Amino acid sequence: MMTNKRLRQFIEYLSRQNIVWAPQRIGGELVMERVSDPKNVELSSELPLHSFKKILVPPQEALFNYENNKIFPAVNPPGQVIFGLTVVDLKAVTFLNQIFAKDPHFQNRLKKALIIGQSLMPKGKHQFFLEKFEEDVLEHLKFDVFLAAQKDKFLVYTGSEDGQRILDDFGHKDYEHIEYVGPIREAGLDSQMQKIRGKFYEDDKIWQDLGKICIECGKCTLICPCCFCFDIFDQPDLKAGAGKRCRAWTACFYTDFSEVAGREIEKKKPKFLRSTPERIRFWYEHKFVRCPDEISLPGCVGCGRCTKVCPVGIDIKENLQRILKGKLK
């Protein structure tokens, strides 16, 4: 057990030696930001609008540096603490860990990060999939320390040696260790997800309908804790012959996403995703077809952030229900 007071001390302890990211209210909105004053950290059931994504998958990062035709490894990321992740966001961390299983940049960053989760369940109107916290979900989540909220204190779990070490160093001995057994429950892909996968291509009209209202701003992809697609490009340095090869977030809604080199037709470069319906279908297809096929997990944790930020009111929950209805009779 950890009391509220002791928890505050723990946050202060972490902040003393580390970069700590935690939910804080800035301009009225709860966001994941760097902690300058531990008193501002807010532990609640509300999902921060911005997730942890920018910390583990930076908007832009160097893959390597180069100078005079020599290649040098990119500089190692610093260790940092990501505090207060809800189960919903821990699911997204776990998802990304599968996607980037063989990516040394992500793995290095995750290994050096201390992930601290908590059990308060988001109850916003846009959320779906998860109803209430159950302890048996923990063995399927990537975390170092997890705080399960009781009435006025917390049960403490560890999910890694790093988690145990930091608690030991802090002087908190009362915790239970949970061994990570992988991201998927024995039953495999969730049954509702299987249904969505099975019916995905039945009603093509949904994409035509969504294509009429989507303005392709890409906000949903930026805010989504599971969206990770990227471009790779070179960024030359001022010094001749030097620079870095980088990767950076992109969005499948941007028209250059599928562009290829070639003769322009009506002043447009050739591309393979040619219309809004094709591009919005591509987004859903990634989350509910490709991800389940590849790693038996959907590319969606049901956080509802995309619905919240969509300027034209596209609601992912409604769309999944429509896909589940299947073929229009």
Partner 1 sequence: MLNPYIPKLARIIKIADQTPDVKLFTLEFADRKDRAEFSFTHGQFVMAGLLNFGEAAFEICSSAIKTKTFDLAVGRIGDLTEKLHQLKTKAVMTIRGPFGNGLAEKFYQNKELLLVGGGRGLIVMRSFILDYLAGALPAKKVNVFYGCLDEKNLLFKNEYKIWRKKFGLDICLNKPEKSWLGQRGVITVLFNDKQDFTDTVALIVGPPVMYKFVIEELQKRGLKDEDIFVSLERRMYCGIGVCQHCAIGPYYVCKDGPVFSWAQIKGIPGAI
Task: Enumerate binding residues for partner 1 (CB under 8 A).
Answer: 63-64, 66, 69, 71, 73, 99-100, 102-105, 107, 201, 204, 228-234, 236, 241, 243, 245, 247, 252, 257-263, 270-273, 278, 281-282, 285-286, 289-290, 293-294
Which runs of consecutive H residues, i.e. helices, occur in 179-224? 191-199, 205-213, 219-223
DSSP string, 100-118: TTT-HHHHHHHHHEEEEEE
Supply the minimum distance, in Å, between the C-beta of residue 210 and partner 1.
15
Tokens 């800035």, residue located: 26
Cβ–Cβ < 8 Å for 311, 217: yes
Nearer to partner 1 among residue 212 and residue 290 (C-beta): 290
Supply the minimum distance, in Å, between the C-beta of residue 289 and partner 1.
5
Nearer to partner 1 among residue 164 and residue 255 (C-beta): 255
Nearer to partner 1 among residue 16 and residue 240 (C-beta): 240
Cβ–Cβ < 8 Å for 328, 205: yes
Distance CA(156)–CA(87), nearest Å, equals 14
Tokens 């919240």, residue located: 308
Phi–psi pair at 268, nearest 5 degrees: -120, 140
Supply the minimum distance, in Å, between the C-beta of residue 66 and partner 1.
5
Q: What Å distances lie between residue 290 and 193, 270, 275, 303, CA to CA?
A: 12, 24, 20, 19
Nearer to partner 1 among residue 26 and residue 232 (C-beta): 232
Supply the minimum distance, in Å, between the C-beta of residue 18 and partner 1.
24
Supply the minimum distance, in Å, between the C-beta of residue 179 and partner 1.
22
**Cβ of 227: how many Cβ atoms within 10 Å?**
23
Distance CA(158)–CA(165), nearest Å, equals 10
Supply the minimum distance, in Å, between the C-beta of residue 220 and partner 1.
14
Nearer to partner 1 among residue 111 and residue 125 (C-beta): 111
Nearer to partner 1 among residue 53 and residue 105 (C-beta): 105
Supply the minimum distance, in Å, between the C-beta of residue 274 and partner 1.
8
Nearer to partner 1 among residue 68 and residue 191 (C-beta): 68
**Cβ of 118: how many Cβ atoms within 10 Å?**
25
